[in-house]
Amino acid sequence: MKIDQWGNRLYTGETSYDFVGRRRTWYAIAGAVILISLLALLLRGFNLGIDFTGGAEFRVVGVTGDVSTVQAEDAVQEVLGETEVQAAVVGGDTLRVRTGELSTAQSSDVVDGLAAAYDVSRTDISSSFIGPAWGQDVSQRSLQALLVFLVLVALVISVYFRTWKMAVAALVALVHDVVITVGLYALVGLEVTPATVIGFLTILGYSLYDTVVVFDKVRENTDEAMDSQATTFREAANLAVNQTLVRSINTSVVALLPVGAILFVGTVLLGAGTLVDLSLALFIGIAFGTYSSIFIATPLLVQLRQREPVIAALEKKVLSKRAERAAKAPAGGGRTGSSTLVVGGDEDTEVEPDYLYDRSTLKDQQPSVRVQPKRAPRSRR
């Protein structure tokens, strides 16, 4: 089946996946991944870059032959003794070496050692020094921006959708994305730089964008359900997720392709650097942001709202109408199954209705009329 045909079947309800009804499965998967992320943060912590810890950075440009980081580590340790050295090849012919804070004399000795190790001139080696206070200031400002962002987002979503429960569901999905992304960084030991922090803040906007698109369709469907009294709130919300599924996937793929290309270029062609730090955070965040928009946000919204008196009354009325139609249906023909739902109960007390919100709903509401095609009159001989 082509993706456009699949998308049409999802939109009309001919094909439907029960995202809302299986919410505990999605919660369990998300909870397991979040638990692993939190354990990684507690046990391993972040591998903070020089911008946060402070130190010195040296770049050796124009290195020829087979570039090896071992020579750099040996040269620095010969000057400074046993100390932590981080060396990486950047761009194929450039070597980046990072150490702790150094004095002016120590820095000059390291430059001489690197020049001798790679047979380059001192002018081919650049050095820079960063104090830890700068990194602490970046961290504080990032946390302040994050808190302000979350407060504003909660207010805007609450006003736009006329309910604070949508804001809660969107923020839970947002926290899900950020925790998993930073946890993966801690688990793998990836270096955290200011570019990484920018990537973390960027994925917040993308995750919310995808969630708001789904929520907008949820509001449209649920408003129609309240007016028509033909479907329950849960069925209308689940249909909205199915209708926006292809759009969410396409948007994510379109976003991941250029980010993946930047990640490939930064990793394979240029080596570790700002491009890799930024693109890797974006790639992870976009992927998990799509998951949370589909599997977390809407099921959580339905769970938060299903006990509201208006929603409960709608479900009771819809199921009552279905039971009446099932009782009036002739034996052995049409839909004979019935369904029950304990209003206000949890997932375990619900029995799924025997059809979803699709074209069959319209068939149940309206009597089928068979139109006989006109026959051509017989010719008289």
What does the DSSP assignment read for 100-151? S---HHHHHHHHHHHHHHHT--GGGEEEEEE-HHHHHHHHHHHHHHHHHHHH
The whole-number pLDDT of residue 83 equals 73
What does the DSSP assignment read for 263-278? HHIIIIISBSSHHHHH
All domains of the chain in start order, with CATH:
8-47+134-305 (1.20.1640.10), 55-130 (3.30.70.3400), 316-352 (no CATH)
Long-range CB contacts (within 8 A, 24+) of 26-32: 26/295, 26/296, 26/299, 27/296, 27/299, 29/295, 30/176, 30/291, 30/292, 30/295, 30/296
Beta bridge partners of 191: 47
HEC-encoded secondary structure of 295-353? HHHHHHHHHHHCCCHHHHHHHHHHHHHHHHHHHHCCCCCCCCCCCCECCCCCHHHECCC
322: tokens are: 């279905």
Residue 43 buriedness (CB in 10 A; 0-12 / 13-18 / 19+):
exposed
pLDDT under 70: residue ranges of the chain: 1-2, 4, 64-67, 91-93, 132-135, 266-274, 331-381
Q: Contact 213/160 with Cβ under 8 angstroms? A: no
Q: 47-48 and 191-192 as β-strands: parallel, antiparallel, unpaired?
A: parallel
Whole-prediction pTM:
0.71
DSSP 99: E
Helix, strand, or coil here: 361?
helix
Phi, psi of 366 (to 5 degrees): -120, 140
Helix, strand, or coil here: 68?
coil
Torsion of CA 124, 125, 126, 127, to 10 degrees: -170
Q: How many CB atoms lie within 10 A of CB 326?
A: 16
Phi, psi of 127 (to 5 degrees): -135, 150
Residue 243 buriedness (CB in 10 A; 0-12 / 13-18 / 19+):
buried
Beta bridge partners of 57: 98, 128
DSSP 15: S
Task: Give the whole-angstrom CA distance, residue 91 versus residue 89.
Answer: 7
Task: Give the whole-angstrom CA distance, residue 154 versus residue 148.
Answer: 10
> pLDDT tens-digit profile of 26-68?
999 999 999 999 998 888 888 777 777 778 888 888 776 666 7
The whole-number pLDDT of residue 58 equals 85
Helix, strand, or coil here: 90?
strand
Task: Give the whole-angstrom CA distance, residue 233 versus residue 221.
Answer: 8
Phi, psi of 145 (to 5 degrees): -65, -40
